[in-house]
Structure 1
């Protein structure tokens, strides 16, 4: 065997050994199967399956920047309701105010033998640098409840929160409670009852309220009849609300009567409100509205003889998908000589 043959044989042997070692070195364990997030379309758009479960989750919210004038709307948790149950107003150190809000919600749903099981939580994060209210900057639990079929328990908006289109009307006093509620939904017909904790709505302790609603829908017309009874004040209120598709928009009419001030309605003995949302096009809507208040509240337990009326308008414009602006201008006049112009300009990004 010559030198050349010996060298070639040695190189081939080394290559074989090295190849075997290299092959052994790159052998890896079988990777775990990856579970990708799956879209859940059983409960509408935006839901996805929580990995490893059959529960569907939807995350949503908005960022809002708003400048208000005439009244400090940001310090009230009750939307455009500036009158509190004791008849006082929220006051500002100036006639204009600007605030920002971040709102986020988590909605978890799954199917069960008893119907849809829901867990919902939403919170508001507010930023306002005025100094007239201790809670102008606060983190607020907006809603937190469990729902199974028609049964609902937790902290959530009551049926009194529903109002007319636009920003002119005031149709509810306190609208969030810790409650137990049941709603029968027959499609075109609904009926429900709730038991509400009224603690903190007045100076009395252990307040309990009972509310009931009956709703019907036929074509483009819907009607709600709602009632609430405050057991601590031993007073109640009833409300009717009509909504109808009319031309290029929606006409709405509402009325309330109360026996005396209570947690559900305290602004006046009676009131009538109306609005019309005119959908100019896909981006622009204009909503004029008006409301009359008969026998305004003059103490914690009684109504007086003064009346008031309010007129105004709301303009909504969709700038682009997920971004919209709203302008509200209202005028109110009371018999006692108080009259004011108030409103706001809002920019909101929904997601």
Structure 2
């Protein structure tokens, strides 16, 4: 074989080999497209889809600090600072039974700069579906007026509960069974491990809206009823309310009966001023906690709300309380709150 023939043969062999290796070459896979967070507008503003699911999530909360004043507010001191931080998660998605909604709210309260005094807890944790709500939630007794003069509920208004509420365009009706196990002594040496039943109906007609609420304390075998009526009048809203208790019970024990009113004057988008007054009849509980007696009392005051800017608002409340056979008292707070 000549040298020229040898070179041609070698080149042919190399060409064949390189073609074989090219056929077996490893090709890098293209990266999968990244799934960015998508806005979910099916349930209102602020929701986004959890990646890879059809569940919509909303994250929010607030930071609040306020200066409180009143007689012996903190020990023998007549003033106290209070700060709260709250983080809330709301998740919703459509199901064959309607919207499945849930809420988790984590709250931390502190009254001074000592971090050991912080109190962090589950403020709310429940789910809603087909009108039912199950879990830690606020009772309808927590619903009150926009001002700070009214006292129309007693004791803790947050419970583990099961409730059902029917809702139409202008009418709502519901019933709830609530576990009442907060610190509450109706009789000496007796502690709460109790059940309460509440029911509410509400409706709107033109400029009027009304709420009627009842609660029955199974342990004390006493109950209370409460009514609130709102009317949009002029540049604001009038609120009139009343409550009656058959005897001392978990839901209401401030007095045997009470009536009050407020008017929320909406000056503009930033300012609102709400004067109010409330009268209490038979404010003293009997020694065994079974009934009311004693004198009367009344409270009057004003609440001023001011929106400083988007997400930042303030509130000032000044109240005066006077009762038979008791000392007069001025109390209230100045609050700053950042919502997000």
TM-score, structure 1 normalization: 0.84
* Aligned equivalent of 1:326, options 312, 315, 320: 315
State yes or no: 1:166 paired with 2:140. no
- Aligned in 2, Cα 1:111/1:64: closer, same or farther, shift over 3 Å? same
- The separation in 1 between residues aligned to 2:215 and 2:163, in whole angstroms, is 13
**1:81 aligns to what?**
none
User: Which secondary structure does the structure 1 equivalent of 2:141 belong to?
Assistant: helix
State yes or no: 1:113 paired with 2:96. yes
**1:103 aligns to what?**
86
- The separation in 2 between residues aligned to 1:255 and 1:324, in whole angstroms, is 30
Deviation at 1:205, TM superposition (A): 4.6
After TM superposition, list the pairs within 5 Å mapping 1:68-147 onto structure 2.
68-70=68-70, 92-129=75-112, 137-147=118-128
- The separation in 2 between residues aligned to 1:321 and 1:347, in whole angstroms, is 13
Deviation digits for residues 13-47 of structure 1 (CA, Å, limit 9, x no counterpart): xxxx9xxx9xx99x743011111111111111111
- The separation in 2 between residues aligned to 1:141 and 1:338, in whole angstroms, is 37
**2:133 aligns to what?**
152
Task: Determine which structure has the larger strand proportion and give its number.
Answer: 2
**1:186 aligns to what?**
168
* Aligned equivalent of 1:301, options 279, 285, 290: 290
Deviation digits for residues 271-301 of structure 1 (CA, Å, limit 9, x no counterpart): 1111111000110000001011110133433
State yes or no: 1:289 paired with 2:272. no
- The separation in 2 between residues aligned to 1:268 and 1:169, in whole angstroms, is 13
- The separation in 1 between residues aligned to 2:74 and 2:220, in whole angstroms, is 26
Kept in 2: contact 1:295–1:304 (CA 8 A): yes
Detail structure 1 runs of 4+ shifted over 4 Å in the superposition: none
**2:8 aligns to what?**
none
**1:212 aligns to what?**
199
Deviation at 1:91, TM superposition (A): 5.2
Aligned length in residues: 309
**1:77 aligns to what?**
none
Cα RMSD for the two superposed structures: 2.0
Deviation digits for residues 182-230 of structure 1 (CA, Å, limit 9, x no counterpart): 0000120111000011123433453111100011111221101110000
- The separation in 2 between residues aligned to 1:140 and 1:342, in whole angstroms, is 27
TM-score, structure 2 normalization: 0.86
Deviation at 1:127, TM superposition (A): 1.9
Deviation digits for residues 254-287 of structure 1 (CA, Å, limit 9, x no counterpart): 1000001111101100011111110001100000
* Aligned equivalent of 1:335, options 303, 324, 329: 324
Deviation digits for residues 225-262 of structure 1 (CA, Å, limit 9, x no counterpart): 11000010000000110011111001101100000111
**1:47 aligns to what?**
47
Deviation digits for residues 151-202 of structure 1 (CA, Å, limit 9, x no counterpart): 0111111111111121111111131111100000012011100001112343
User: Which secondary structure does the structure 2 equivalent of 1:95 belong to?
Assistant: strand
